[in-house]
Chains A and B, each alone.
Chain A
Amino acid sequence: AQSVTQPGIHITVSEGASLELRCNYSYGATPYLFWYVQSPGQGLQLLLKYFSGDTLVQGIKGFEAEFKRSQSSFNLRKPSVHWSDAAEYFCAVGPGNQFYFGTGTSLTVIP
C-alpha cells in the first residue's frame, strides 16, 4: 500500500538559515511525488513535483527537492529561509488519480 512519512512534525529555523524537510514514501511502482505548502487558512499550493528524468527538481519560491529511489526519499530543501516560508508543508505520492499525503511538517521561522 502506498504511504508517505514525514518525520518532522514541527521544525523551527532562523531566518536566513537553510532548510531540509524529509519525506519518505512507500509505493510499489514508479512514484509521482509532490510537495505542497499550506499557509494559515489557505488551501494547498503546489511547490514542485517529480515524475521522471532529472532527480533534482526546482520549484517555486526557491525550493528544490531531490528524488532518491534507493532511499525512497523526496526531501525538500531551501538554501535560505524567509519569514514568509512559515507554513505547513506536505509531501504526497500520486499514482495517477489518487493522492496520498504525509502528516505534514509545520515550519516556524524565527527572526
Chain B
Amino acid sequence: DTAVSQTPKYLVTQMGNDKSIKCEQNLGHDTMYWYKQDSKKFLKIMFSYNNKELIINETVPNRFSPKSPDKAHLNLHINSLELGDSAVYFCASSQQGMGTEAFFGQGTRLTVV
C-alpha cells in the first residue's frame, strides 16, 4: 500500500510542451512538497502546501504551477518545458508539527528533448 505515489514515473517530452505530474498521499498528512533533484543529486525544495494552502514557493520559474485540490493531492504543472527542466521530481508529505519526517514518493524522471 503505497504511502506517497507519483505518476508518471518516467516522462519524456519535447521542448515547449506542457506536462503535469500527479502526487497522492494516503498517510493523512496535511503538508505536501515538491522537490527537484538535479543530475548531481542535489535536492532543492520547490513548493510546500499545508492544507491546500501554498506556504513555500522557492525561486522557481512561473512556468511551474502547483495545484492542491485537496490535502491528499499535490500536482505539478509545467508549461513551455525547457531542456534545463530535465531532472527527477519528488513529491513528499509530512504532518505539520516540529520534528516530523517527510515521506517521499518514488520520483518522476522528466527528460526534455
Contacts and interface: CB of A to CB of B under 8 A. Distances in A.
A94 B101 CA distance: 8
Contact of B43 (A32, A90, A106): A90
Contacts of A94: 99-102
Interface residues of A, number: 26
A103 B94 contact: no
Using C-beta atoms within 8 Å of the partner chain, give the interface range for chain B.
Answer: 20 to 34
A99 B98 contact: no
Interface string A81-104: 000000010100011111111011
B99 A32 contact: yes
Contacts of B25: none
Contacts, number: 65
Given A34-B101, A49-B101, A103 B90 contact: no
B44 to A, nearest CB: 8
A103 B98 contact: no
Interface string A39-74: 001111110010110000000000000000000000
A59 B53 CA distance: 33
Contacts of B111: none
Nearest to A106: B41
A97 B101 contact: no
Contact of A97 (B35, B42, B55, B104): B55
Nearest to A42: B106
A104 B31 CA distance: 24
B66 interface: no
Nearest to A34: B101
A32 B40 CA distance: 25
Contacts of A88: 41
Given A43-B90, A44-B102, A49-B99, 8 more contacts: A45-B104, A46-B103, A94-B101, A97-B50, A98-B48, A99-B92, A101-B43, A104-B42
